[in-house]
Amino acid sequence: MRERGGFWVGLFAAFFYPFTWLVARRRVRGMEHLPRQGGALLVLNHPSYIDPIVDAIYVHQQGRVPRFFTKHTLWNVPLLSRVLDGAGQIPVFRGTSKAGDSLRGAHAALADGKVVVIYPEGTLTQDLDGWPNDTRTGVARLALANDVPVIPAARWGTREIFDSRRRRFRPFPRKPVTMLVGEPLDLSAYKQREVDAELLREVTEVIMERVRDLLKEIRM
């Protein structure tokens, strides 16, 4: 059963399905690990600004409506704010007194049975070769506090379309973009421990190690 996304999600799909078809030869493996209903935390690497577009399409094809962390300043754009609200996206208030609201929004989305997509680096991958690094522990906080599948995944090929650091957009010829989705992680042992900075860092590294392994597989 397809999750209903409403008008704005439908509009997004109508525009970006053709766009991604024009610029990318999309391939995906392992999407059976994404549940058809109920909350889930999908954890990915982030080498290009077009990642959310491509990832949203991958998830939407499975009948789910993804929720992303999105800079709160985008809500200042009148029409875009309606799109973001209509699609249920999660505002991120970095460097403000509302910085914690983004995680509260993600907790609420997961509790409401939604798929939340998270890039634990919080920004573009800083590594010049595209490997994830400098991850934040928000992913661990969400994983430990919510009884939902934590699903590691990796996607590669978007940087060949749009190299965000060099501001280089090369849509043609179409580039292969591959996503590999792993099995949900068993974090039950960690949930028995007291949550502190050490535990959050350890769980974050456990999750990201699996993301890196999946990325190695599709980059070989």
The percent of residues above 90 in pLDDT, for the chain, comes to 71
For the segment 55-76, what is each residue's pLDDT rounded down to a tens digit? Answer: 999 999 999 999 999 887 877 7
pLDDT band at 160 (very low <50, low <70, confident <90, very high): very high
Q: Which helix (H) or strand (E) holds 26?
A: strand 24-29
Encoded tokens for 127: 């590594």
pLDDT band at 111 (very low <50, low <70, confident <90, very high): very high
Angle of helix 138-145 versus helix 197-219 axis, rounded to 10: 100
Beta-strand pair 175-181/24-29: parallel
pLDDT band at 12 (very low <50, low <70, confident <90, very high): confident
Other CB atoms within 10 Å distance of the CB of residue 188: 7
Encoded tokens for 118: 């998270």
Q: Which residue has the tokens 């060949």?
A: 160
Helices first, then strands: H and E counts in the chain: 7, 9
Residue 173 preceded by cis peptide, ω within 30: yes
Q: What CATH architecture is 26-164+179-219? A: 3-Layer(aba) Sandwich (3.40)
pLDDT band at 100 (very low <50, low <70, confident <90, very high): low
For the segment 134-146, what is each residue's pLDDT rounded down to a tens digit? Answer: 899 999 999 999 9
Q: Which pLDDT score, from 0 to 100, does residue 125 have?
A: 93
For the segment 115-137, what is each residue's pLDDT rounded down to a tens digit? Answer: 999 999 988 998 999 999 889 99
* DSSP structure string for 96-164: STTTTHHHHHHHHHHHTT-EEEE-TTSSS--STT----S--THHHHHHHHS-S-EEEEEEESHHHHEET
pLDDT above 80: residue 26:
yes
> Domain extents for the chain?
26-164+179-219
For 28, the 3-state DSSP assignment is strand
Q: Which pLDDT score, from 0 to 100, does residue 98 have?
A: 59
Q: Which residue has the tokens 């280089």?
A: 168
